[in-house]
Amino acid sequence: MLSLWIVRHGETDWNVQARVQGWTDIPLNVTGELQAHQLGKAVSGVPFREIIASDLSRALTTAKILSEYTGTPVSVDETLRERGFGSAEGMPRSQADELYPDGAPDAEPLDSIDARAQDFLNRIIRNNAKGRFVCVTHGGFVRAVMRVLFSQQVGSPPNTSVTSLAFANGRWILREFGATPHL
């Protein structure tokens, strides 16, 4: 069976400050690194074929920490990036929502991140008949996966949460959304 664990990166200072991150490359803070280590310890005995990470440092650092505990190789895939929020990036979310109630005019359209999510899922299916994979990404990408697979609008999952999917009988099955038993 093909299994995909989608992990949201650890906490950043901008998460704490409720700032719009998008493509701005904000690193993990101390809590985010601790969260990644806690998840790493929790999954240390789980066999994974590969850890695939967004190229943004908050996701890539989370992936590398998981790799330390699992011995699983990490590859980078820009498809897993957060949605680009254009000129709203760096603003407090409340200010961005007030200034751009329909989103910043230079933000990445929702259908673009949804297409990236669909492309990633199609490649996983096409290239792998079975195995367990970890994808370390961002809240916006997790929401895109939920939209394209299940037509669900969800909030951002917690930092270092695991959303678990399985592919069987030609369709994706949601096993768990935003799980954080390791925290």
Report pLDDT for 16. Answer: 98
Among 178, 149, 175, smallest CA distance to 162 is for: 178
- What is the C-alpha separation between 96 and 169, in angstroms, rounded? 42
Residue-wise pLDDT tens digits, 32-55: 999 999 999 999 999 999 999 999
pLDDT tens-digit map of 52-86 = 999 999 999 999 999 999 999 999 999 999 999 99
Q: How far apart are CA 127 and CA 107, in angstroms?
A: 31
Domain extent listing, the chain: 2-179
pTM over 0.95: yes
CATH class name, domain 2-179: alpha beta
128 pLDDT more than 90: no
Which residues are the active-site residues?
A: 9, 82
